[in-house]
């Protein structure tokens, strides 16, 4: 496998390359770049199968590189500092990423996952979600990639009515009537959807506030949602929910 490493920080590039040389000797380092211009030239010349791609570069961004090289034929592992809007776009599109400073453990895990991904169409779905969310910049993300054991789903976030926890699994209920079960906990999706109009009303329930039809105060309180389902509201979340209703009124 040929790999290109794109990062404006020399130390960061060298760290990635050193880890790859030590842990994955079968990988060929086809090139490295520290700017958008260098990256476009290097990737075009070497045609790598995988690119470690920094988001924030002195003459642009990783997004500019990908836009210039469409259609994208290579896998991507993003390298990023804590740029909130960029990190959110990456997470919603289900791309692998490593945070700076680069950790050997994180890099190895991300690369292992990238190498294992073989489902047809997965890469393009993830790219579609990433481009849409990154172009949206600091606004709400629009699309989300959900991976199940059998399929990859690209969904509109506004189509999610609610998410329900079941131990380490989360079930997404969509306004199409579809249910999607993924092997990640609800906490992770609560953090991802924070700022996108979702509120965790109960340990087991995360709801899209746009889909709330009414609040039933009886028996401790519950929400009636657009799909007619009834979701309990925990006692400790009740006041926050009331405050949210006040803000919306």
Distance CA 40, CA 33 (A): 9
Compute φ and ψ for 25, nearest 5 degrees: -60, -20
Collapsed DSSP state (helix, strand, coil) of residue 109: helix
CATH number attached to the domain at 2-135: 3.40.50.2300
Please report the pLDDT score of residue 83 as a whole number: 63
CA angle at 37 for the pair 33 and 38, rounded to the nearest 5° = 25
Predicted TM-score of the model (pTM): 0.69
Asked if 152 contacts 215 with a C-beta cutoff of 8 angstroms, the reply is: no
For the record, the structure tokens of 40 come out as 């476009």
Q: What is the pLDDT of residues 207-222, one digit of tens each?
A: 999 999 999 988 778 9
Q: Tell whether the model's pLDDT for residue 185 goes beyond 80.
A: yes
Distance CA 212, CA 241 (A): 11
For the record, the structure tokens of 168 come out as 């380490």
The domains of the chain are located at 2-135, 144-248
Name which CATH class applies to 144-248: mainly beta
Q: What is the pLDDT of residues 129-148, one digit of tens each?
A: 887 777 665 556 788 989 88
Nearest to 227 by CA among 240, 210, 204, 248: 210
Residue environment code for 36-65, b if the CB has 16+ CB neighbours within 10 A, otherwise e: bebbbebbeebebbbbbbbbbbeebbbbeb
Asked if 55 contacts 79 with a C-beta cutoff of 8 angstroms, the reply is: yes
Question: Which residue is listed with tokens 């969310």?
Answer: 133
Q: What is the pLDDT of residues 47-63, one digit of tens each?
A: 999 999 998 899 998 88
Q: How far apart are the first and last CA of the chain?
A: 56
Chain center to CA of 52: 16
Nearest to 53 by CA among 88, 18, 100, 21: 100
Distance CA 63, CA 43 (A): 14
**Which element (helix H / strand E) includes 220?**
none
CA angle at 147 for the pair 142 and 149, rounded to the nearest 5° = 160
Name the average pLDDT for the chain.
Answer: 89
């Amino acid at each position: 496998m040929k790999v290109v490493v794109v990062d404006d920080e020399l130390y960061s590039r060298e760290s990635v390359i050193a880890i790859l040389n030590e842990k994955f000797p079968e990988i060929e380092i086809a090139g490295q770049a520290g700017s958008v211009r260098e990256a476009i030239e290097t990737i075009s010349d070497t045609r790598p199968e995988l690119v470690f791609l920094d988001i924030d570069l002195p003459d642009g961004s990783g997004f500019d590189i990908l836009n210039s090289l469409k259609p994208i034929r290579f896998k991507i592992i993003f390298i990023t500092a804590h740029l909130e809007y960029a990190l959110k776009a990456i997470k919603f599109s289900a791309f692998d990423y490593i945070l700076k400073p680069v950790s050997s453990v994180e890099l190895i895990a991300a690369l292992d996952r990238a190498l294992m991904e073989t489902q047809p169409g997965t890469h393009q779905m993830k790219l579609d979600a990433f481009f849409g969310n990154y172009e949206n910049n600091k606004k709400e993300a629009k699309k989300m990639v959900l991976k199940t054991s059998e399929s990859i789903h690209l969904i509109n976030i506004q189509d999610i009515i609610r998410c329900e926890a079941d131990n380490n699994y989360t079930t997404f209920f969509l306004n199409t009537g579809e249910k999607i079960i993924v092997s990640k906990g609800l906490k992770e999706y609560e953090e991802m959807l924070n700022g996108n109009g979702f509120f965790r009303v109960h340990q087991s329930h995360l709801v899209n506030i746009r889909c709330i039809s009414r609040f039933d105060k009886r028996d401790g309180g519950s929400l009636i949602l657009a799909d007619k389902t009834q979701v309990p509201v925990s006692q400790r979340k009740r006041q926050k929910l009331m405050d949210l209703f006040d803000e919306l009124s």
